[in-house]
Structure 1
Amino acid sequence: MLFNRILTSELLKWKTKLDPKPLLVKGARQVGKTSLIKDFGNKYYEQIAYFNFDRQPDLQQFFELTKDPERIIQNLSLVVGFPILPGETLIFFDEIQECKEALNSLKYFEESNLSHHIIGAGSLLGVTLGNAKSFPVGKVDFLDMYPLTFLEFLDAKDKEMHQYLQSIQSIEPIPDYFFNRILESFRLYTICGGLPEVAKELVESNSLERVEELLFAINRAYEYDFSKHVAEKDIQKIAFIWDSIPSQLSKENKKFLYQTVKKGARAREYEDALTWLIQAGLVYKVNRVNKVGIPFSGYDDLSAFKIYLLDMGLLRQKAQLEARSILNPNGLFSEFKGALVENYILQSLSAQFQIKPRYWTSDGIAEIDFLLQFNNELIPIEVKSEENVRSKSLTFYSKTYNPRVKLRFSMRNLINQEELINIPLFLADRTKFFLNQQLH
C-alpha cells in the first residue's frame, strides 16, 4: 500500500517547469522520500533510472573521473541497461549525501544543455548541506519532506471522511456523526504517528503490538545513525539529547534545558550535537520571541527554545506511553498528552508554512504555545488536548497586541468566535486554508 502524498503536487509543479533545475528532497530517514519519488517517476515518466549511493558505492567513481554530464549519463545508462533520455527518464540519486562528487555534479547538469530531470534525496542530506562549503548556491531547487500528515493517513484509513474534510469550505461546526467518526481515526494516528511504515502497518493489520515493534526499531535505527555518521566526540552527546526530549516536553515549562540532558551540561558543550539533530531532520527547534514583530528573525531570543521530535508516534514510543492509553485515556496520561498534541500541531504547521513557528512569553505572566507569521500577520496559537479551552495567556496576548486572527486547536468543534478560530485537532492540516479565508 502506498500513501497518497501531498508533495506529489509539488513534484508535478517542478516537472512542468520549462527547464527544471535538479531537485533535492530533504527529510529524515523513514519519512517516505524514496517511495514518493519512485512512485512519482513510475507515474509521470516513461522510465526511472534509480541509483542508491549507499548500496552502490562503486557508482561514485563515475563522478570522480569526470565532470562532464554527458559522459556521466552515458555511464549511468550502461548501469541501468537503457538510454537515459531528457524529459522521458527521471534520474533519481538516492542517499546522494554519500557521494559528495555526485552532489557537486548537479551544478554541471544545471549549466549544461542536456535538460535531464534529476532528483536527489538522502536521509542525512540536511547535515551534508549544512556543513558543505562548496555547494553551488542557486543551481538546485529544494523540497522539504515531513512525516505523513493526518489527512494523508485518513485518506488511506477512511477515504470517505478524508474527502469530507477536504470539501469543507467554511468555518462552521462539523456534524457529530462525522466528528466522532474522524476522531476514531485521529486516535489511531496518535498511536502510530506519521512514519509511513508504521502507519501502513496499523492501517493494514490494526496490530498495536506490531506498531510498537516498528517504532522501537526505527528509534534504534536513528541511534545507529549517530554512531555511523557522527564524529566520535559527539555521539554520546547526541544520544543524551535524543533521550532527554520526552523529559524536556513533560515539564510545564517546555523550554529546553541542557541540565535536563545531563547534570552539569553546558550549552557550548552540546550545541554541535543539537545542531546535528536539527540538520538531520530528527527534531524541530522552536525559538522564543520576547517581542512581537515582523520578521521573526529580528526578534529571536537565541538563549531560549523548545525542542520537539520529528513525529508524535515516535515521541509516544520514546516516552514509553502505551498505545492502549491513547484509546483508554486516564489521569496518568493527561500530563503528557499536551506534549504529544503540541508535537502534532507543530508537525502540521511545519509542513504547511515556509516560516517556522516561534513561541512567545512575557515575564512569566503568559506563554503562547506557537506564534505564526503569515501574510504579514502574527497569529497567536493555543493548543489544548481536550475540550477545556480556558486560556489566560491568549487573553493577555490579545489585550496586549490585538491580533486580527487568533487560533486555538482543541477537541472542540470548528467555529469562529470574534476573530478566534477554534480548529479541531484533526483539522490542523487545513490551517493555511482557514487563515487565507479569514484574512482575505
Structure 2
Amino acid sequence: MTAYLKRKADDYLDRWLADADRKPLIVKGPRQVGKTATIRRFAERHYDNLVEINFAEEPKYKSITADGYDAASIIRNISLIDPSKRFEPGRTLIFFDELQDHPDIATALKFLKLDGRFDVICSGSMLGVNYNAIESNSVGYKSDYNMHSLDFEEFLWARGYGEDTREDMLSCLCEARPFSRTQMDVFGSLFLDYCTLGGMPEVVSTFTAKNTFEGTLQLQRQLVLDYSEDIRKYADGMDQARILNVFNHIPVQLSKENKKFQISKVASGARFKDYRGCVEWLESSGMTLICRCLQFPQLPLKGNYDENKFKIYFADSGLFVSMLDDEASDDLRANRNLGIYKGALYESIVAEALSKSGYGLYYFKKDNSTLEEDFFVRTRNHLVPVEAKARGGKTKSMRTLIGSGAYPDIRFGIKLSAGNIGSSNHVFTMPHFTAFLLRDLLKAYDEGTAPLLDNPER
C-alpha cells in the first residue's frame, strides 16, 4: 500500500471541520492530484462512518436524486442501493466523488446543509468545465477549495523534511542572508528532482519508495494519456480535436524563444476565434495555466490585459517533462541537462509555484521592442516584476522597468535563478527552490519585517 503523503489540504480540511457553521465543501482540481486520498484520510481521522459514492465508478447512484433533493430522499435512496452504509448524525461524512459525472447532486447540497445531521464533501476532476451549473444549483450553501499537485514544500515533506524547513528558508529570505553551501547543494538537487518529477502524488511516491527515477516517466506519460482521454470524454464535438491540438502543442511552443502561444502554429489555417473556447476549456479543467499579457505594466492587474495574447503552461511540470522527446527526457534524468528546454522548464516551474501560491499569472511584452518580463506580482503598493533565469544572467528588461519613470508602480524586482540570495540595484535575487515562499516574503515586506533591498522605496 502506498504511504500517504502529507498535504496542505490536510490543514485546510481541519480548519473547515473546526467551523461550527461549515457548509458542504467542494474540492476542485485536475485528476490524480490526491483529492480522494486526502479526503479519505481526513475521514479516517475524524469520523466513525464514511459514506463514499463515486459517480463515475458506480453510475447507479445517479438515481439517488430521482425522488427529489431533500436530505431524507437522498439518504433513503443511498440506503436502498446499499443498506450497509451507516448514517449516524454528527459522526458521518458523506463523500460524493467524481461530481462532474453527476453535477445534479449539487442541488442537494442546500438541503443537506439545512438538514445539518451530516457533513458533506464533494470532489471531481473536471468540475471547472461544468461548474456554472454546479454554482447556480448550490449558491450560498457550499464552500470551494482548489487542490493542486504537490508544491515544492510538500515534496520536501515527502522526502522527510519537517515544517521547520520552511521557517528556516523564509528567515534567510527576510533577512537577505545567503544560504550555506550545503543548503544550496542539497535544496538545489532536490529542486531538480522536483522539476523532473512534477508533483503528482503517485509519481512522487514511486520516486520516494525506490529513490530512483525508475518507472516515473511511464507514470507521467500515462497521466498525459489519461488527460487526453478526459478531453475526449468531457469535451463536445469538434472541440475535442482542437483542444487536443492545443494541449499537445504546449511543449513545442514553450521551447521557442517567443513563448507566447500562437494559435496559427496549432493547425493549418487555425484562427484565434475558433480556438478561444479550447484554451478556456483547458484552463477550466485545471490541466493548464494561462499567463495573460498586460496591456501596460501597472496596477491593478485584473482586467489590465490583452485577452488575445497569452502563454500556456502545464499545471504540473511533470506533464511538460514527460511530453519531451525521449532523448531530452533521458538526458534530464541521467545528466540533469535540459538542452533547449532549460529556460522553458524553469519558467514553467515558476508559473506553477506562483499559481499554487494563489497568484494570477501575468507577463508583459512591449510591441516592437525587446522589453519583456516573465511574470508580475504585487505588494500592497507596488507592482513587482519577477524573472525566471535558468542559471544567472542579466535582467535588462527588469532594470529598464525599474529605472524608467514610465512605470511608476514598479520600484524593485525579483530574480529567481540558480544563484544564492542577494541584492543589487533594486533587484532581489533568490534561488528557484524558494519560489513557493514569494508570497510570504512580500507579505513580510509589506509588514516591514523583510527589507528585501538595500534602499527600496516603500
Fold equivalence (TM over 0.5): yes
Establish whether residue 406 from structure 1 lines up as the match of residue 413 from structure 2: yes
Relative to structure 2, which stretch is displaced further, 240-249 or 272-281? 272-281
Partner of 1:311: 316
SS in structure 2 opposite 1:409? strand
- Extract unaligned runs of 5+ from structure 1: none
The match for 1:104 among 102, 107, 118 is 107
Partner of 2:396: 392
Kindly report which structure 2 residues correspond to 1:212-361, keeping only aligned pairs within 5 A, or say none. 212-320=217-325, 321-330=328-337, 333-353=338-358, 355-361=359-365
Q: Offset at 1:414?
A: 2.4
Partner of 2:438: 431
Partner of 1:206: 211
Q: Offset at 1:308?
A: 0.5
Alpha-carbon distance in structure 1 between the residues aligned to 2:178 and 2:83 = 54
Q: What is the TM-score when the length of structure 2 is the normalising length?
A: 0.89
Q: Offset at 1:101?
A: 2.1
The match for 1:58 among 51, 57, 60 is 60
Letter in 2 for 1:205: K
Deviations 1:35-89 (A, max 9, x none): 1111111122233221111111111111122221133234435636253234422
Letter in 2 for 1:260: K
Letter in 2 for 1:222: Y
SS in structure 2 opposite 1:178? helix
| Contact 1:215–1:314 under 8 Å retained in 2 | yes
Partner of 2:72: 70
Alpha-carbon distance in structure 1 between the residues aligned to 2:79 and 2:156 = 40
Relative to structure 2, which stretch is displaced further, 100-109 or 48-57? 100-109
SS in structure 2 opposite 1:90? strand
Relative to structure 2, which stretch is displaced further, 315-324 or 69-78? 69-78
Letter in 1 for 2:236: A
Cα 1:246–1:204 shift into 2, 3 Å: same
Equivalent pairs: percent with the same residue?
Answer: 30
| Contact 2:290–2:361 under 8 Å retained in 1 | no
The match for 2:422 among 381, 400, 415 is 415
Q: What is the TM-score when the length of structure 1 is the normalising length?
A: 0.93
Letter in 2 for 1:148: L
Alpha-carbon distance in structure 2 between the residues aligned to 1:141 and 1:147 = 20
Deviations 1:178-209 (A, max 9, x none): 22112222121111111111111111113434
Cα 1:32–1:323 shift into 2, 3 Å: farther
RMSD between aligned residues: 2.0
Q: Offset at 1:166?
A: 3.5
SS in structure 2 opposite 1:51? strand
Q: Offset at 1:153?
A: 1.0
Alpha-carbon distance in structure 1 between the residues aligned to 2:135 and 2:354 = 31
Alpha-carbon distance in structure 1 between the residues aligned to 2:303 and 2:277 = 23
SS in structure 2 opposite 1:360? strand
Establish whether residue 4 from structure 1 lines up as the match of residue 6 from structure 2: yes
Aligned residues: 434
Q: Offset at 1:366?
A: 0.9
Alpha-carbon distance in structure 1 between the residues aligned to 2:45 and 2:423 = 41
- Extract unaligned runs of 5+ from structure 2: 448-458
The match for 2:50 among 39, 48, 51 is 48
| Contact 1:191–1:323 under 8 Å retained in 2 | no
| Contact 1:288–1:301 under 8 Å retained in 2 | yes
Partner of 1:21: 23
Letter in 1 for 2:428: I
Relative to structure 2, which stretch is displaced further, 188-197 or 314-323? 314-323
Alpha-carbon distance in structure 1 between the residues aligned to 2:28 and 2:380 = 25
Q: Offset at 1:163?
A: 3.5
Alpha-carbon distance in structure 2 between the residues aligned to 1:372 and 1:85 = 47
| Contact 2:379–2:443 under 8 Å retained in 1 | no
Letter in 2 for 1:102: I
Alpha-carbon distance in structure 2 between the residues aligned to 1:146 and 1:16 = 23
Q: Offset at 1:257?
A: 0.5
Alpha-carbon distance in structure 2 between the residues aligned to 1:133 and 1:5 = 26
Kindly report which structure 2 residues correspond to 1:362-381, keeping only aligned pairs within 5 A, or say none. 362-363=366-367, 364-381=369-386
Letter in 1 for 2:332: S
Letter in 2 for 1:310: A
Cα 1:421–1:84 shift into 2, 3 Å: farther
Letter in 2 for 1:36: T
